[in-house]
Amino acid sequence: MIYPIWGIIISTYCIQNVVASASLGTELDLNKLLLQMDGAEYDPQVFPGLVFRLKEPKTATLLFRSGKMVCTGAKTIDQVRRAIETVVVHVRKAGVTITEAPTYEVQNIVASADLGQPVNLTSVVISLGLERVEYEPEVFPGLVYRMTDPKVVILLFGSGKLVCTGARTPQDVEVAVEKIGEELRSADLLR
């Protein structure tokens, strides 16, 4: 999907991963859940949480003894909601009393986008300023740009492709992608 901005074409962003946390409001016996929930994985020597994967929506949810849970792998906020609801159903079927439906909070959205043309990263460093940019091509081929509003980190590559991380809402991603495009155009680094 593409849309025009300032006379050029920029690909819209594509959400790759939504990470959200929630609390079940009760402590969990992870060994019991391992036995009761088909497909659950738990090895406390390797990781302190139980991993429960769903095929629909395709997610992995980490459950901790404290009752906290982290859902990862969703592509939309609605998939997060559905995944958490499904995990709650499975935990209840395993014999755990959960009095209220847990509320969740999005912790991180990772998205990708394409500015539609190559970018000279050395020129970007000079244009955007050293206080918010890290670029060490010998270590990592992309430029790290710490945007302050919205508060996200953008990994920008010479191909014009980018990854946005740290967003809390899809709107943050959209604003960040538009903003970096505008900043690069105003510095004559994009047509």
Looking at residue 129, its pLDDT comes to 82
Looking at residue 12, its pLDDT comes to 77
> For residues 184 and 90, what is the distance between their CA atoms, to the nearest angstrom?
48
Residue 151: CB partners within 8 Å, gap ≥ 6?
Answer: 166
pLDDT digits (tens, 9 = 90+) for 48-57: 999 999 999 9
What ranges in the chain are assigned the alpha helix state H? 30-36, 77-93, 121-128, 170-186
- The yes-or-no verdict on residue 187 having pLDDT over 60 is yes
Domains, the chain, with CATH or none: 2-14+108-186 (3.30.310.10), 25-101 (3.30.310.10)
Q: 69: closest CA among 130, 126, 20, 22?
A: 22
The whole-number average pLDDT for the span 134-139 is: 96
Mean pLDDT of the chain: 93
- The yes-or-no verdict on residue 74 having pLDDT over 60 is yes
pLDDT digits (tens, 9 = 90+) for 7-41: 444 457 999 999 999 999 999 999 999 999 999 99
pLDDT digits (tens, 9 = 90+) for 143-157: 999 999 999 999 999
Which two structure tokens, joined as six digits, stand for 148?
């302050």
- The yes-or-no verdict on residue 3 having pLDDT over 80 is no
- The yes-or-no verdict on residue 66 having pLDDT over 80 is yes
Amino acid at 71: C
Task: Compute φ and ψ for 95, nearest 5 degrees.
Answer: 100, 10
- The yes-or-no verdict on residue 62 having pLDDT over 50 is yes
Looking at residue 4, its pLDDT comes to 40
Binning pLDDT at 50, 70 and 90, where does residue 79 land? very high
63 and 41 Cβ atoms separated by less than 8 Å: no
Looking at residue 10, its pLDDT comes to 46
pLDDT digits (tens, 9 = 90+) for 98-126: 999 899 999 999 999 999 999 999 999 99
pLDDT digits (tens, 9 = 90+) for 160-182: 999 999 999 999 999 999 999 99
